[in-house]
Structure 1
Amino acid sequence: MAVRTDGRLVDSPMQPVRCGACGGRVEVRKSSWDQTSIQWHEDAVRACAERRDAQPGSGPNGRFFSGCKALRDSVRAAAARGEIAIQAED
């Protein structure tokens, strides 16, 4: 069976967004209003107070970080202003 090429990043590349709270820059791709992919850069990891203050849980996924509310708000605002594309309008 042939492997199908995933063209999503070609059709809609990730776009930079800065967090309104800490100024950290991430790369974002919004598939819909409810689905967002985020690639964190090292400066954003260091700058994010919510990420820094997150308490690790137990188990093998104890260091899982569910996300930053300030960044989520910044991404949503950028999408609402038309600064980042949304692939599938709901």
Structure 2
Amino acid sequence: MWLGNRPASRLAHRPDHRLTDGAPMRPLACERCAAEVLVRKSSWQQTSVQWNARATAACAERDPAGGAFEGCRSLRDTIREAALRGTIEVVDGGEQPTAVADRIP
């Protein structure tokens, strides 16, 4: 089988570097509870977070019973501040978001 001008089997074994190009994931500890996760900011709108068992147990906003988890507001704030300070690289930096208070006349 061919895809375009290449055999499909050749494409199937080609590594996909889209997620590893640019900045690697970096450790970052939440300013509230010190849960340490791995973080990568692809843009101001997109953030990848990798949790491990220790971070999951330490998170102050996670339900210890394992209920639904929509995300940690404290960690989200920590990541945003780290990106603004330059501690965490924003791969596709673009224009930094402005705070709501900065936009109010």
TM-score of the aligned structures, taking structure 2 as reference length: 0.69
Mapped to 2, the partners of 1:35 and 1:54 lie a distance apart of: 28
1:38 aligns with 2:49: yes
**Residues matched between the structures, number:** 83
For CA contacts below 8 A with separation 6 or more, give which structure has more relative contact order. 1
TM-score of the aligned structures, taking structure 1 as reference length: 0.79
Mapped to 2, the partners of 1:89 and 1:12 lie a distance apart of: 12
The corresponding residue for 1:29 is 40
Structure 1: runs of 5 or more not aligned: 57-62
Is the 1:18–1:24 Cα contact (8 Å) retained in structure 2?
yes
Please list, as runs of the form range in 1=range in 2, the aligned pairs for 1:39-54 lying within 5 A after superposition.
39-52=50-63
Is the 1:22–1:48 Cα contact (8 Å) retained in structure 2?
yes
Of structures 1 and 2, the larger Rg is shown by: 2
The corresponding residue for 1:87 is 91
Distance 1:51 1:11, change over 3 A: same
